[in-house]
Structure 1
Amino acid sequence: MFSIERKDFGPDFTFGVATAAYQIEGGQTDGRGPCIWDSFAKTPGNVINADEGSVACDHYNRWPQDLDLIRDGGFDAYRFSFAWPRLIPGGTGAVNQAGVDYYDRLIDGMLERGIKPYGTLYHWDLPSALQDQGGWMNRDIAGWLGDYASLVGKKFGDRLAATATINEPWCVAFLSHFLGVHAPGYRDIRAAARAMHHVLFAHGTAIDALRAEGVKNLGIVLNLEKSEAATDKPEDIAAANIGDALFNRWYLGGVFKGEYPEELIKVLGPHMPDNWQRDMETVSRPLDWVGINYYTRGLYQHDASVNGFPISQVKGPLEKTESGWEIYPKGLEELLVRVSREYTKLPIYVTENGMAEVEGDNDPRRVSYYEEHLKAVLNARAQEADVRGYFAWSLLDNFEWAEGYAKRFGIVHVDYNTQERTPKSSYRAFQGMLHNSK
């Protein structure tokens, strides 16, 4: 159990759990179109064990049971994502009514259980038809996302407690177009530069579209790391600055200041879209809140063998999760304070935080992980960071992207053969803190 109590966070703090459509829904029936993760996962070598998400956790059919778990855990809110290819199979054009009906049922099911719906427009499942036209490398994606946002706003906006446009634009752009780890799997600096800009430009057009439909409480979800130098050598400190610019400042600066880091523009400038500067007013549209996903830190050293960005990461000495990520709660505290002091006074939500672990229903390391990160939130609030909520990643063990089903992040265990759900010790820890204390 946790040693901290719900009352430590004040009466208005939101506790929730988070998931993503492709990772849990399955249900690739009833008119859902293909997405980039369908083809990426079916390409040999991209995903561990050749796993893919056609069934995943079968949340498409088992959502009532999963919502009951959220309610019974005492959580206030559920952060979920809409599947673009389920709602608009071709990415643009015809709407799939079966998809609309599904999200109607899901959202109404939350409201019936007293759970606040926190929706995300885009959590990486780009319709394949749009990838055929260049996907995030094509400036037209801003219009495509805007039209999709209009549909979501029109059909569901009045029932959503909060809506985010993009989940983790660093992953959408850099991880997927420069490092090639996620779909669509490019390793190309021009592709990356364009995706890095277009993902934020599209975010801004989606904000405009949602506001035009009268949707309230809008934000974006950024994944941030605590970027640190591996040593105190000047060249490693400079490397950490580049790492921070790539991972954090490009997205924070774009969204909140309408500017990108100069040290990155020096490298990416020749590959950026023409006249990208004209888009920055749209990129930095006013928001109502910001979400921060946090998992670990990055330790950087200078690496002259790397072109473009002469940096590389090194493994740190701290205890690590099953993903090999250092457990570093202090990094969350420092990032929350940094964002509130340097970038925005908007309400901040920790929209994802969690760890991979291989143990079954008994997961004491995960209990400790959550406790220490919740304490980091309290420490940040004590330094006047306006943190309003915390969402555990994830409700369920699920399809963990390129890691397939090999990494388990859930507070509820899923038997992928039977789809049986079993709450873990970490679920019970949250339940003990939250239940009957709203």
Structure 2
Amino acid sequence: MSFPKDFAWGAATAAYQIEGGAGEDGRGPSIWDTYAHNKKIDLLRNRMNILNGDTGDTACDHYHRYKEDVQHMKEMGLLAYRFSISWSRILPEGRGKVNEKGLKFYSDLVDELIAAGIEPYITLFHWDLPQALQDIGGWLNPEMPDLFGKYVKVVVDALSDRVTYWMTLNEPQCHIIIGHIDGECAPKQRVTDRQGFYLIHSILKAHGKAVRIIRKYAVKKPQIGIAPNPSAYYPSTDRKEDVQAAKKMAFGITSRNFWCSTWWLDPIFLGCYPEDGIHIFGDDFPLEMIKPGDMEMISEPIDFLGCNFYQGTEIRADKSGEPVIVPRKPGFDMTAFKWGVTPQILHYMPNFLYNRYQIPIYITENGLSMADWVSLDGKVHDPQRIDFMQRYLLELKKAIDDGTPVKGYFAWSMMDNYEWSNGYTERFGMIHVDYETQKRTLKDSAYWYHDVIKSNGKSLLIE
């Protein structure tokens, strides 16, 4: 039952969700600071941008408590920790003068992790664009890929003597679609479809630019990837017809839909946008946005594909073999966040993605929100989280047994944190955080995960 040798057992977080220290030591505001501090009622949703008006000003106060948090990671037995860097903590204006105090924070964090025997995995962008860059057009500004590259160069120069693993972007789909097309999170724009494609193209060019910068300037030989959230599907049965239908659904574009994974992954791995999607959008796909050299930069070779997976959609084949969505039955298993419990996606989706793109896979986020709290005995009992993770990891082992090169698993999240537009109302962590006192309490799942890691997955077997 053991997982591969050197499997990266880890947990993940993101800067704005845990760091706090929002106005300290020269950090500039990001679009999420602006969005969270706007307390006006959104008339379309009849609510403030963030539930309860919560902000990330303090969050988990990780900026001041990182040493304590790394010790908790060590106690959990983590071998790897994936965290993101706040662009505006490094470059308060998004460009120009470097904030040395901000850079020192991440350098000290890396040192602390290495001293604890934990491999740092850095994500360079997790949605928190500096507000100063949004003010000049954000990702629609043609300078953005170069500006991102300059920011990446600063980070690489400071940390690549100790850091091997780099991820350029986290979930660019969510950042662009939800934040810029649907207008339901920062920076709260509602652009046209044509502008949407310019945004996609811009952020993918930024990815490619970052890859080139890391390759050229990293001191340690880098391992470079990206961490999107591919749309996830799984077959209703193991019949060949159902499996093929689910695979077809995962990569086919049959409607005006920006979420399909091929918009985001085909350019990176195949060097082109999907023809079926271009055909469906017609004149709204701006061919003129693609300049000479763009696709070559976007498809700069990388070393792995990170995948953030939480829930998926069940698919069966109809009589002609075409995919059909299977509706969820009443009482379908769901998390506190009302996301479906569909562990099969960790069996099938890594397989589908590897077969299409021939790239090693990391599960860079997986977990669930629960309504858990500190019990009268002073402990936090979260049996559903343990059951959830066990189910998903058992399915992931099936993908590995099928021959898919899965290199690691990062639980979301290392600790409870600020859940974006839902503020502090959702608890995804294996460590409980009392946001008033900042007291940390390891949940039962943290100790369970310790045993999983120590046994390299053997403890997942059900007697």
TM-score, normalised relative to structure 1? 0.89
> Are the aligned partners of 2:268 and 2:299 in contact in 1 as well (CA < 8 Å)?
yes
Q: Kindly state the Cα deviation for residue 299 of structure 1 after the two structures are TM-superposed.
A: 7.1
Aligned counterparts of 1:244 and 1:329: Cα–Cα separation in 2 = 25
Report the more deviating stretch, 207-216 or 221-230: 221-230
Q: Kindly state the Cα deviation for residue 296 of structure 1 after the two structures are TM-superposed.
A: 0.8
Q: Secondary structure at the match of 1:9?
A: coil
> Are the aligned partners of 2:346 and 2:393 in contact in 1 as well (CA < 8 Å)?
no
Of the three residues 7, 20, 26, the one matched with 1:13 is 7
> Are the aligned partners of 1:84 and 1:91 in contact in 2 as well (CA < 8 Å)?
yes
Aligned counterparts of 1:314 and 1:124: Cα–Cα separation in 2 = 32
> Are the aligned partners of 2:198 and 2:289 in contact in 1 as well (CA < 8 Å)?
no
Change (3 A) 1:92 1:314: farther
Aligned counterparts of 1:313 and 1:436: Cα–Cα separation in 2 = 37
Q: Secondary structure at the match of 2:232?
A: strand
Q: Kindly state the Cα deviation for residue 272 of structure 1 after the two structures are TM-superposed.
A: 3.5
Of the three residues 248, 254, 266, the one matched with 2:261 is 248
Matches within 5 A, 1:68-107: 68-107=71-110
Give the AA of the match of 1:199.
Answer: I
Counterpart in the other structure of 2:43: none
Of the three residues 122, 125, 128, the one matched with 1:125 is 128
Of the three residues 142, 145, 148, the one matched with 1:145 is 148
> Are the aligned partners of 1:297 and 1:326 in contact in 2 as well (CA < 8 Å)?
yes
> Are the aligned partners of 2:2 and 2:455 in contact in 1 as well (CA < 8 Å)?
no
Aligned counterparts of 1:115 and 1:225: Cα–Cα separation in 2 = 30
Aligned counterparts of 1:224 and 1:263: Cα–Cα separation in 2 = 18
Change (3 A) 1:64 1:8: same
Change (3 A) 1:163 1:78: same
2:286 matches 1:293: no
Aligned identity (percent) is: 38
Counterpart in the other structure of 2:423: 404
Counterpart in the other structure of 2:200: 196
Counterpart in the other structure of 2:321: none
Aligned counterparts of 1:379 and 1:158: Cα–Cα separation in 2 = 36
Q: Kindly state the Cα deviation for residue 262 of structure 1 after the two structures are TM-superposed.
A: 2.4
> Are the aligned partners of 1:400 and 1:406 in contact in 2 as well (CA < 8 Å)?
yes
2:347 matches 1:343: no
Counterpart in the other structure of 2:405: 386
Aligned counterparts of 1:299 and 1:419: Cα–Cα separation in 2 = 40
Give the AA of the match of 2:37.
Answer: K
Report the more deviating stretch, 382-391 or 183-192: 183-192
Aligned counterparts of 1:407 and 1:282: Cα–Cα separation in 2 = 38
Counterpart in the other structure of 1:309: none
Aligned counterparts of 2:429 and 2:256: Cα–Cα separation in 1 = 29
Q: Kindly state the Cα deviation for residue 241 of structure 1 after the two structures are TM-superposed.
A: 4.4
Counterpart in the other structure of 2:230: 224
Q: Deviations over 1:319-363 (max 9, x none)?
A: 11111111101122111000111112x221101000111122111
Matches within 5 A, 1:176-325: 176-189=179-192, 190-214=194-218, 216-227=222-233, 241-242=254-255, 246-266=259-279, 267=281, 269-270=283-284, 272=286, 274-276=288-290, 278=292, 279-298=294-313, 317=330, 318-325=332-339
Q: Secondary structure at the match of 1:223?
A: coil
Give the AA of the match of 2:231.
Answer: E
Q: Deviations over 1:259-310 (max 9, x none)?
A: 222233242753537341631111111001111110112479xxxxxxxxxx
Q: Kindly state the Cα deviation for residue 432 of structure 1 after the two structures are TM-superposed.
A: 2.1
Of the three residues 329, 340, 356, the one matched with 2:369 is 356
Counterpart in the other structure of 1:307: none
Aligned counterparts of 1:319 and 1:389: Cα–Cα separation in 2 = 26
Gaps of 5+ in 2: 41-47, 237-241, 316-324, 374-379, 458-463
Give the AA of the match of 2:372.
Answer: E
Q: Secondary structure at the match of 1:99?
A: helix
Q: Deviations over 1:34-86 (max 9, x none)?
A: 00000111223211111110000000000011101111111101101111000
Aligned counterparts of 2:257 and 2:367: Cα–Cα separation in 1 = 21
2:56 matches 1:61: no
> Are the aligned partners of 2:234 and 2:348 in contact in 1 as well (CA < 8 Å)?
no
Gaps of 5+ in 1: 1-6, 301-311
Aligned counterparts of 1:272 and 1:74: Cα–Cα separation in 2 = 49
Give the AA of the match of 1:291.
Answer: G
Q: Kindly state the Cα deviation for residue 15 of structure 1 after the two structures are TM-superposed.
A: 0.1
